[in-house]
Structure 1
């Protein structure tokens, strides 16, 4: 852990910046996968009981759902780590005023 990623103890973390715990994230992905594969299994079963066009819809669902299940299962929480905010505002840098030389503009042709 670098010193720039350490938060002070008193600083609160906004809840929208907090990641889901690793075990909770894995559990949610497993549930999505199981649900999608259950729907796929249902599509396989429906192929034997539905007539006509619905049979092709069930076949298409059974063929496409494994890819969708894998994509959903591999989708993890990609939120970045919370940004560390500085305790004091950084001083603004400015160019100091220079010496003013008074004079006139001579616009005569040379």
Structure 2
């Protein structure tokens, strides 16, 4: 008898915790790198103008954004579950013409202790 319960599919599993943590660290490091560049540009670019304020706002706001993005995880990535059932059609069952019934093959496994 075929099991008709919905078995979980490997493709529907979430990302491994180690891989997710590595992804979050990379995202945090990238955002903090951009913040560092904003801070350096705020100090170095002459003459001071509106872009100095833009770099300053970027340097002040990006740490908050980096932490929020790093803690967000991958909950927003929805993975569609794939059916574990085979999607191929089964070949027709061979019918024994003499009896009018399907051919049944039985396999018995016996342990050979004569070795």
Q: Which residue of 1 aligns with 2:67?
A: 70
- Give the secondary structure class of the aligned counterpart of 1:20: coil
Q: Runs of 5+ in structure 1 lacking a partner? A: 1-6, 84-110
Write the deviation string for residues 14-70 of structure 1: whole angstroms up to 9, x where unpaired: 62x320000000000000100000000111100122231110000000000000000
Relative to the length of structure 1, the TM-score reads 0.57
Relative to the length of structure 2, the TM-score reads 0.55
Q: Would you say how many aligned residue pairs link Structure 1 and Structure 2?
A: 74
* 1:23 pairs with 2:18: yes
Q: Which residue of 1 aligns with 2:101?
A: none
- Give the secondary structure class of the aligned counterpart of 2:43: coil
Q: Runs of 5+ in structure 2 lacking a partner? A: 82-115
C-alpha separation in 2, matches of 1:20 and 1:12: 15
Compute the RMSD of aligned alpha carbons: 2.8
